[in-house]
Structure 1
Amino acid sequence: MVRDPSSREEEPDPRDVLAALSDDAAAEIIAALDGPKTASQISEECDIPLSTTYRKLERLTDADLLRESTEIRRDGQHTTRYSVAFDSVTVELDEENELTVELSRPEPAKDERLAALWSEVREET
């Protein structure tokens, strides 16, 4: 399943976002994502074991900090790529003294929009 945080109507749980951002390996992964990359590419570039990389990617994606997209390949071996899904994170204390998080999101690139559309079509069929 491809997850695109920009399609969500509500902001993520502040605890999930803060926990993900406070993780050194997760922060290193975010810094390495200068464009869409596979888990294997991230693992190699960050020198993090692949199993750990997948756990960190899951945590970052669950916190809506990363976007998953599927690279459609002719050989049928589709590849999941990850990219940063935010420009900035704002944490505030609301009127009830509870933390809130607001993520500023970049506009998705043309290929990301196409991949998302293709994923929706595949889900419908």
Structure 2
Amino acid sequence: MDPDETLLVLGTQYNSAILGATDEPKSVKQLSNDLDIPIATCYRRVEELTEAGLLELDDRVLSDEHRRTSVYRRRVDEVTVQFTEAGYEVDVAERSQVKNKLDDVWRTMADD
């Protein structure tokens, strides 16, 4: 991930809220409703975050309307920005696939 792009994307309105809300897979419609973001804006922000490598398509699930819906989950656990004399450094801690699977198992067990 390019540090300049990461910082720019994080500074865009709604993007940090979307990342915060996607510790579990969510559709754009869910994000729009939960975060009170206009749906068209939410689609643009999800695309922006996905292109930056901060969000990823997790699955395509069947919606309540019986349509396939894309759900997204953040790829990162933490982003740290440190300002230095030379400018700044951006450190990104990515989520591991193992952590994603463990989260899914815990969520499934809690739903039962």
Deviations 1:6-38 (A, max 9, x none): xxxxxx111211111112311121222241100
Aligned to 1:66, which of 39, 45, 55?
A: 55
Q: State the partner residue of 2:75.
A: 85
Say whether the 8 Å CA contact 1:67–1:83 is kept in structure 2. Answer: yes
Q: Is the 8 A contact 2:61 2:71 kept in 1?
A: no
1:27/1:72 CA distance change after superposition, 3 Å: closer
| TM-aligned CA distance change 1:93 to 1:34, over 3 Å | closer
Q: Number of matched residues?
A: 97
In the alignment, structure 1 residue 15 sits paired with structure 2 residue 4: yes
Deviations 1:62-118 (A, max 9, x none): 111112122354xx8432111111112244689xx575543211222239xxxxxxx
> Within 1, Cα distance between the matches of 2:29 and 2:19?
15
RMSD: 2.8
Percent identical? 32
Read off the aligned partner of 1:102 and give its amino acid letter: D
Give structure 1 stretches of 5+ with no counterpart: 1-11, 112-125
The alignment's TM-score, normalised by the length of structure 2, stands at: 0.69
Structure 2 gaps of 5+ residues are 103-112
Task: Give the TM-score, by structure 1 length.
Answer: 0.63
More strand by share: 2
